[in-house]
Each structure stands twice: as structure tokens, then as C-alpha cells.
Amino acid sequence: MESALDYWSAKALLEWQVELGATETLCEAPVNRYELAPPAPKAAESSKPGRAPPVPPKPKPVDPVAEARKQAKAAPELPSLRAALAGFRHCDLKMGARNLVFSDGQPGARVMVIGEAPGREEDQQGRPFVGPAGQMLDRMLAAIDLSRDKNVYLTNVLPWRPQQNRDPLPEEVAMMVPFLERHVGLAHPDFLVLMGNVSCQAVLGKTGISRLRGQWAQAWGKPVLPMFHPAYLLRQPGHKRAAWADLLELKARLGAVS
């Protein structure tokens, strides 16, 4: 069927969508994911004419953080934790994401890296740190003989990409923390490396990466090293020297405790 739109109208419409924030085309026809929820139940057929229809009971408000705690605690191993996250219905980020991004690398490795959230490439592939920041991270790890193929495990605070790579909301982080803590418990690394402020907020409850970086802290029973996020280092290469010092610190600690 030939389009009824002329070239200039189609171009204007496309530009308008880009202005609204569209960054890519996913499929031919738009999908309103909010409409994919199951339809609301119909009013009871039995109500007699003249009588007020029965008032449906109010759904109990759900505390997403308590729900996350319950579900995370019930997961006995990493695959079931992944399944619990995949079925978690209280985080709207899931609606806009293509894939759940759970982890990569070697579960049980001594070093577990915690990033912020998937970006575009991670969302497409369902693996953390595979875009430009991930390539930077791989180079940083390789400089101290670490690699996701051998001896590092990677995850993010958020398993779904925030649209437009916007900053995660505090409530989104809060409801993912129980899953992250359980993730750490099940992967049982010796050391956690926190990339950037979002993971510092989630794990240490504080931000201020320029102050925190390079200083060992303790969380969830483990030594924790905050570092500049590789995406930040790509934008601010002048801070690579500090990141190198932090990598050497991690290497020394790995060598000292083996």
C-alpha cells in the first residue's frame, strides 16, 4: 500500500519523534506496552437493575522494596535469582527495555564489578558492559590480569536500561538493592568494585565518587573499592591516572589475600 504521507510531512513527523526522545526503531508498528497488561475484570453480570454495582475490593498497596526483599531471599541460586528478577513486576523500567541484563563473566570469581545500568548495546545483547564503556572496562581489567573470561564477574545495579540512558530514580535503585545484595551473596566474591556513584549509592548508601574512589570500604561483609566509572573516564580521560592507581590497589589486595 502506498503511504498517504508526502515526503515533507513524513520527515516532519520523524523529526518530531526524535525531538520527543526516540533514538531507534524497534519494529514496523508501535507497541503500547502499557496496553499489554491483562484487561481489567468486567463488572459482575449478576447485578440487578436499580442496584448499585458491587464495589470491587481495593487492591492492597504493594511495597516494591519489601516484595523485592521477599523474592530475592527466596532465590537459592543465581539462575533462580535471574528468574525472580525477570518476573518482578514493580519496576517500570522493564516495560521500555528489550532484555534483562543480569550478569556476565565468571560466577564465583574473586572480583565482582558492579556498574550502573545497561546502555543501548547492553540492552540489545542482554549482557552488561559490552558497549564503549564495557570495552574500556575490559582494557582496564586486562591491565591487571583480570578478565571476564577468566576471573571477574560483572553486573549492574539496574538490570533494565533506563530510556535515553537517564539517571536511575532513587525508588528504582531502592527496589533493586535487595536483588543486588542477594546477587553478591550467591556469587560470593572476595572483593566488590563499585563503578561510579549509582553503585556507591546502592551498596554504600553514599555518593561523591571523587572522594570515595580508591578508599576501601566494607559492605555486605565484603571489602569494597569504589572507582570512577569507565564511561566517565571516556569523557574525562584526565582521570585515568586515578583509575590506574585504584586498579593497582586492587591488584595489590588480590595478591596480598590469595
* Residues of the shown chain interacting with ligand URA in the complex, contacts defined by CB under 6 A: 115-119, 122, 128-129, 131, 133-134, 156, 195, 231
What would the grid cell of residue 101 be? 541484563
Residues in the chain: 258
Selection from 40, 91, 20 nearest residue 62 by Cα: 91
Between residues 122 and 138, which has the closer beta carbon with respect to ligand URA?
122
Between residues 129 and 191, which has the closer beta carbon with respect to ligand URA?
129
Least separation in angstroms between CB 116 and ligand URA: 3
Between residues 119 and 214, which has the closer beta carbon with respect to ligand URA?
119
Least separation in angstroms between CB 82 and ligand URA: 15
Between residues 203 and 231, which has the closer beta carbon with respect to ligand URA?
231
Helices (H), 91-169: 93-96, 120-125, 132-142
CB-nearest residue to ligand URA: 115
Q: From its phi and psi, is residue 90 left (phi > 0), alpha (psi between -120 and 50) or beta?
A: alpha
Least separation in angstroms between CB 29 and ligand URA: 29
Selection from 116, 105, 113, 107 nearest residue 250 by Cα: 113
**What residues contact 55, with CB distance under 8 A and at least 6 apart?**
none
Least separation in angstroms between CB 175 and ligand URA: 18
